[in-house]
């Protein structure tokens, strides 16, 4: 993040990135990786459908309501308002782009203008 | 895949690309902002470009990058990415019937280049796997054409985003656009009450267990949410059988 560190390339990070590429291939080919016929247990198959939204929520929610490991104590935080507007816009228009545009339209003035 | 002559010379290849292109236009800003967000999250320019070219998974990249920057161990980063990609695991179950006649290498290439949009459009257009060899090739070419169009557009705009990011100060907080994008995808997945429950449980657990080392709060949150939803399903089934 800081100006000095920002542009240093790290070998470990590159290895993790290669690992991520393997994850892309494996997850997207998961059920046709093997040549054999095989079945996932029924309960696991049902459980699978709840995992993607859980994964996203687990990443997204702390990024909105926490600062440096603490739950934010003030309502004067641009992220909360931007996220609320974003969710409302998404369900009104079902459009990812508009969600980002309106969300940032709320976030930037509050963040840059008011310092929230 | 799309460098294969039997596929890119097939008329269905062009059809696939043409079918996808207009619907993928809405994804352009997402690709741009993914590029911007990668750099703003602290990756170096080279790392951002390398990740974009190698990983080809926007939401997984956006989810993994903060973990990498926080110094989380590789397995936590990879499990998180896998979990964000789990929807593709479900897609692969669906795509299995269309692809099993291909060699393993070709199947994996088909999987690697698959995207949400091409999966949805493909299964919309071909409700069933083809039964003859020429038809199977036509389906494969159509799929490859869509993936080619998406890959080209994604790479172009993501790399432009990486280039632009250096002209945009991180203090502006534009990286938050990446979070908003994930939030929108999260909303698009909220198609049932139990999935909403999953999101609420996972979000709450991730916040409550934030102090855990190694970003384990994310893995814990996913596990608790899935178990909670399976239990809620059972409860619902019990209630239904009582009534």
Name every chain B residue with its beta carbon within 8 A of the beta carbon of A93: none
Q: Is B4 left (phi over 0), alpha (psi -120 to 50) or beta?
A: beta
User: What is the greatest pairwise CA distance in chain A?
Assistant: 60
Evaluate whether A60 touches B66 at the Cβ level (below 8 Å). no
For B135, the token pair is 């038809």
Name every chain A residue with its beta carbon within 8 A of the beta carbon of B95: 31-32
Name every chain B residue with its beta carbon within 8 A of the beta carbon of A25: 108, 111-112
Residue-wise pLDDT for A1-31, tens only, equals 444 445 678 899 999 999 999 999 999 999 8
| Interface touch B50/A52, C-beta < 8 Å | no
The number of C-beta contacts closer than 8 angstroms across A and B is: 285
| Interface touch A59/B206, C-beta < 8 Å | yes
Q: Quote the CA–CA distance of A88 and B220 in Å, as a whole number.
A: 28
- CB-nearest to B111 from A5, A6, A29 is A29
**What does pLDDT average to over chain B?**
88
Evaluate whether B99 touches A32 at the Cβ level (below 8 Å). yes
| Interface touch A23/B188, C-beta < 8 Å | no
B38 reaches A (C-beta below 8 A): no
Name every chain B residue with its beta carbon within 8 A of the beta carbon of A60: 179, 182-183, 186, 203
Q: Quote the CA–CA distance of B24 and B139 in Å, as a whole number.
A: 20
How is residue A111 annotated by DSSP? I
Which pTM value belongs to this model?
0.72
Residue of A nearest to B110 (CA): A29
Reported as type and span, the H/E element at residue A103 is helix A96-108
| Interface touch A57/B199, C-beta < 8 Å | yes
Residue-wise pLDDT for B192-226, tens only, equals 999 999 999 999 999 999 998 667 788 899 899 99
| Interface touch B50/A7, C-beta < 8 Å | no
Residue of B nearest to A104 (CA): B177
| Interface touch B183/A83, C-beta < 8 Å | yes
pLDDT (tens place) for every residue of chain B, 243 residues total: 677 888 999 999 999 999 888 777 767 777 888 898 898 888 999 999 999 999 999 888 988 998 899 888 999 999 989 988 887 887 898 888 899 999 999 999 999 999 888 887 888 789 888 999 999 999 999 999 999 999 999 999 999 999 988 787 767 776 687 788 889 888 988 989 999 999 999 999 999 999 986 677 888 998 999 999 999 999 998 888 876
Q: Quote the CA–CA distance of B219 and A54 in Å, as a whole number.
A: 10
Whole-number percent of chain B with pLDDT over 70: 95
- CB-nearest to B199 from A7, A26, A54 is A54
The ipTM is 0.81
DSSP-derived secondary structure for B64-83: HHHHHHTT--HHHHHHHHHH
- CB-nearest to B186 from A50, A53, A66 is A53
Name every chain A residue with its beta carbon within 8 A of the beta carbon of B85: 23-24, 27-28
State residue A48's pLDDT score. 74
B 122-181 near A (Cβ less than 8 A): 170, 172-174, 176-177, 179-181
Q: Where are the domains of chain B?
A: 5-189, 191-243
Give residues with Cβ within 8 angstroms of B64, minimum separation 6.
A16, A20, B77, B80, B81, B84
Residue of B nearest to A80 (CA): B180
State residue A90's pLDDT score. 94
A92 reaches B (C-beta below 8 A): no
CA distance B74 to chain A (A): 6
Q: Is B142 left (phi over 0), alpha (psi -120 to 50) or beta?
A: alpha
Evaluate whether B155 touches B53 at the Cβ level (below 8 Å). yes
Give residues with Cβ within 8 angstroms of A74, minimum separation 6.
none
């Amino acid at each position: 993040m800081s100006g000095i560190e920002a542009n240093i390339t790290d070998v470990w990070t590159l290895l993790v990135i290669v690992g991520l590429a393997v994850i892309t291939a494996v997850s997207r080919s998961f059920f046709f990786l093997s040549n054999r016929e095989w079945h996932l247990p029924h309960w696991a198959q049902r459980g699978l459908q709840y995992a993607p939204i859980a994964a996203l929520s687990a990443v997204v929610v702390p990024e909105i309501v926490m600062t440096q490991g603490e739950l934010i104590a003030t309502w004067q935080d641009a992220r909360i308002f931007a996220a609320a507007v974003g969710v409302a816009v998404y369900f009104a228009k079902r459009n990812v782009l508009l969600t980002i545009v309106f969300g940032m339209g709320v976030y930037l003035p509050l963040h840059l203008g008011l310092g929230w | 895949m799309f460098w294969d002559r039997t596929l890119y010379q097939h008329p269905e290849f062009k059809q696939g690309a043409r079918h996808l292109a207009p619907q993928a236009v809405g994804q352009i800003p997402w690709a741009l902002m993914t590029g911007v967000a990668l750099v703003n999250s602290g990756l170096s320019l080279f790392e951002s470009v390398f990740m974009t070219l190698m990983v080809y998974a926007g939401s997984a990249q956006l989810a993994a990058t903060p973990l990498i920057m926080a110094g989380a161990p590789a397995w936590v980063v990879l499990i998180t990415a896998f979990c964000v990609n789990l929807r593709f695991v479900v897609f692969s179950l669906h795509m299995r019937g269309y692809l099993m006649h291909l060699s393993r290498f070709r199947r994996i290439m088909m999987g690697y280049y698959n995207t949400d949009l091409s999966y949805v459009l493909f299964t919309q257009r071909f409700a069933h796997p083809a039964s003859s060899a020429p038809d199977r090739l036509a389906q494969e070419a159509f799929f490859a054409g869509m993936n080619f169009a998406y890959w080209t557009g994604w790479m172009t705009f993501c790399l432009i985003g990486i280039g632009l990011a250096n002209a945009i100060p991180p203090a502006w907080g534009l990286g938050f656009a990446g979070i908003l994008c994930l939030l929108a995808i999260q909303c698009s997945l909220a198609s049932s009450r139990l999935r909403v429950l999953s999101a609420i449980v996972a979000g709450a657990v991730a916040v409550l267990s934030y102090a855990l080392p190694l970003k384990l709060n994310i893995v814990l949150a996913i596990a608790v949410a899935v178990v909670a939803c399976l239990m809620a399903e059972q409860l619902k089934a019990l209630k239904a059988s009582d009534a």
